A and B are shown apart, each in its own frame.
Chain A
Amino acid sequence: MLALLIQDPAKINYIEKPAPRPEVDAFGQLEKLASTFHDVDGLFYFTYAVCIFFFVLITGVLVFSCVKYRRKTFDQPPASNTTHNTPLEVVWTVIPLIIVMVMFAWGFAGSIDMTTVPYEASRNAYKASAKQWNWTFSYPNDAAKSYNEVWMRVGKPAQFTLESSDVLHAFYVPAMRVKRDIIPGRFQTVWFTPTDIGEYHLFCAEYCGENHSTMYARVHVVSEADYLKRPWDLWEDDTPEKAVKSAASLYSSLCSTCHSINGAVGVGPTWKGLFVKGPDGKITGKQRDVLVKGEKQTITVDDAYIMESVRSPDAKRAAEFPNGGMAVFPPDQLDDRRLKGIIEFMKSLAEK
């Protein structure tokens, strides 16, 4: 440990492609609300105001006393020896009690709103699959999927069914004020109505291991017209060049958290040098050592090997990564067309 490795900044997609900086709301404390959960902000500022009042009161009395009743000679007696004052004590017990009960009721009512999925939202149901360390989104009535980016219609309530195939994660969109833990083996849901067109951060808010902080997705809230263009399904593979271009963008949103293309050591093996270009321009797979059930073997990289590594990564583990740990991508999350595109992209990296 303590390898003092400098992170390669290009690998983190929110730094590579920063989202527009979110606006701050009128009071300057919270990010501008982009959903209909006004109660969160209302109660936040109410509580905030109460806190400032009591803070000023406490600090004021304290500082005033320290100045006024400062001990000047070593035997100075106190100005008063009062040990209690029952009416005062009742007042400062009952008034805070009333205030916190208001906060409790307000917060509880607000949370009921946030956990009760309205019918309209349940008719507009997305699925968010979380795994170390990326997001896969499925759309309502649409077979296509998107990775680490999701598009939503403005003004339309939406529900997300959340599932995890490995450890705990949490679905957190600060601008929408929603957060929900994702627990393997359980289905969780969250809903909200995006009210403003724009791009928003979606964070994983529950610690999930090494690249927890790069498990990031972007929420695009778009108009109805833009939504109908199905921007999540822009995939062209008519020609190998187009396939490589589409796959390069898929690589940067999906694979780059673990696999570098410049030879840097990541969570998984780099893609650099998987294929080599011969003097005749022919691209061939390189030899590499893999572990099959712990036994070392040498194989030649080819399409079938890459396919197997994506569909069942533990069948042949790269020898430098004996612990494995790559997430499985079954066909319903990454179809064969896209996987072939990815392989084309890998081949396009080949050097002489």
Chain B
Amino acid sequence: MSHDGHHSVVIPAPGPEFLPHTVAHHFDTPVQEFQAAKLGFWLFLATEILLFGGLFAAYFYYHEAYPETFRLGGHQLDWKLGALNTSVLLLSSWTMAMGVRSAQTSQKKKLLVYCGLTVLGAAIFMVVKFFEYKAKYDHGLFVFPEMFHGYDTATGQLPWFKDYHGVMAGVPHGHLFFAIYVTMTAIHGLHVLIGAGLILWVMKGAAKGRFHAGYFLPVDLVGLYWHLVDLIWIFLFPLLYLVP
């Protein structure tokens, strides 16, 4: 940050393995910078929640319209795998929180370890998710490569919904549950991947010593993002896997 060397505030590094932080030129104090970024980030999280809010509204609307479809659809999902993933994400939220704590107390190694564990959690989550998707694929509940094909407007037969074993036979619009399931979990999964990428980016900075008791803002914000990803899953799990 070369521009404006006049009145930029610099936070010194707490030790030789750390780097100092220069407060952006248009802020007067580090506190102002911290609070501004944090307020902005909370607002961003609100937009994320509203984005998912639309999906939740669609879920409730069609759950109301086709309760049998949703009940039967929910039974096709493996709640044990869902519960496993829920535990993994909860644990990873804890490791992320410990990571933020480590940054605040200038413990560089611990920060790296906790962030690494969080990324591991994200990886386990995605692997489990992959096997769940694969099972649905094998049962013809969504056949991905054929999703791009049009459907037969006369019969309403969808190319991506084959239902080989007829598990959804007898309920109206059996595909709707799986359409909503895949849309919600895929968008959530995308957030998991973005979150993991952000944590890796934090680790890169942490390795250089950018984050310490004087400056841990990015760690804090990425932590908040990760908790949001966790929180959304906590709503998705009972709605999709444990449909009443």
Does A314 touch B at the CB level, under 8 Å? yes
Contact mask for chain A residues 299-313; partner B; CB cutoff 8 A; 1 contact, 0 none? 000000000000010
**Cα separation A335 to B136 with both chains bound (whole Å):** 46
**Residues B11-32 near A (CB distance < 8 A):** none
- B51 at interface by CB-CB < 8 Å: no
Report the minimal beta-carbon distance from A291 to chain B, rounded to whole angstroms: 14
User: Chain A interface: which size bin?
Assistant: under 10
Q: What separation, in Å, do the CA atoms of A314 and B153 have in the docked complex?
A: 10
Among residues of B, the one whose C-beta sits closest to the C-beta of A315 is B154
Q: Is the interface of A mostly helix, strand, loop or mixed?
A: loop
Query: Chain A's nearest CB lies how many Å from the CB of B73?
Result: 21
List chain A residues, Cβ under 8 A from B154. 312, 314
With a cutoff of 8 Å between Cβ atoms, the chain B residues found around residue A314 in the complex are 153-154
* Total number of residue pairs linking A and B with CB closer than 8 Å: 3
Chain B 118-161, CB-CB to A under 8 Å as 1, else 0, gives 00000000000000000000000000000000000110000000
CB distance from A147 to the nearest CB of B (A): 23
Q: Which residue of B lies closest to A324 (CB)?
A: B153
Q: Which residue of A lies closest to B154 (CB)?
A: A314
Chain B nearest CB from A281 CB (Å) reads 40
Q: A312 to chain B: which residues have CB within 8 Å?
A: 154
Nearest-Cβ distance from residue A155 to partner chain B, whole angstroms: 41
List of A residues within 8 angstroms of B153 by Cβ: 314
Q: Which chain A residue lies CB-closest to B153?
A: A314
Complex alpha-carbon distance, A243 and B154, angstroms:
32
Distance to closest chain B CB from A318 (angstroms) = 18
Which residues of A from 284 to 334 have beta carbons under 8 Å from B? 312, 314
Complex Cα spacing A314 to B151, Å: 13
B 138-193 contacts with A by CB, 8 A: 153-154
Residue of A nearest to B152 (CB): A314
CB distance from B77 to the nearest CB of A (A): 28
A312, B153: Cα distance in complex, Å: 12
Report how far A213 CA is from B153 CA in the complex, Å.
25
Within 8 A of B (CB), among A135-180: none
For the complex formed, measure the closest distance between the CB of B218 and the CB atoms of chain A, giving whole angstroms. 46
Complex CA distance for A312 and B152, rounded to whole angstroms = 13
In chain B, positions 76-94 with a C-beta closer than 8 Å to chain A are none
In the complex, what residue of chain B is closest to A166 when comparing beta carbons?
B153
Shortest C-beta distance, A306 to chain B (Å), equals 19
Interchain CA distance A111-B119 in the complex, whole Å? 58
Q: Once the chains are docked, how many angstroms separate the CA of A345 from the CA of B153?
A: 30
For chain A, residues 10 to 35, give those with C-beta under 8 angstroms from any C-beta of chain B.
none
Determine the residue in chain B with the shortest Cβ distance to A314: B154
Question: How near does chain B come to A309, taking the closest CB pair, in angstroms?
Answer: 14
Interface string of B209-221 (1 = CB under 8 A from A): 0000000000000
Complex Cα–Cα for A312 and B154 (A): 9
Query: In this complex, what residue of B is CB-closest to A325?
Result: B153
Give the CA-CA distance A314 to B154 in the complex, in Å: 9
B149 vs chain A, min Cβ distance (A): 12
Give CA–CA (A312, B155) in the complex, Å: 12
Task: State the Cβ distance, B41 to closest chain A Cβ, in Å.
Answer: 39
Closest chain A CB from B22 CB (angstroms): 45
User: Least Cβ distance of A321 to chain B in Å?
Assistant: 15
Q: How far is the CB of B241 from chain A (nearest CB, A)?
A: 29
Rounded to whole Å, the gap between the CB of B172 and the closest CB of chain A is 12
Whole-angstrom distance between the Cβ of A314 and the nearest chain B Cβ:
7
3 smallest CB-CB distances across A and B, nearest first, come from A314-B154, A312-B154, A314-B153
A-B contact pairs, 3 of them (CB 8 A): A312-B154, A314-B153, A314-B154
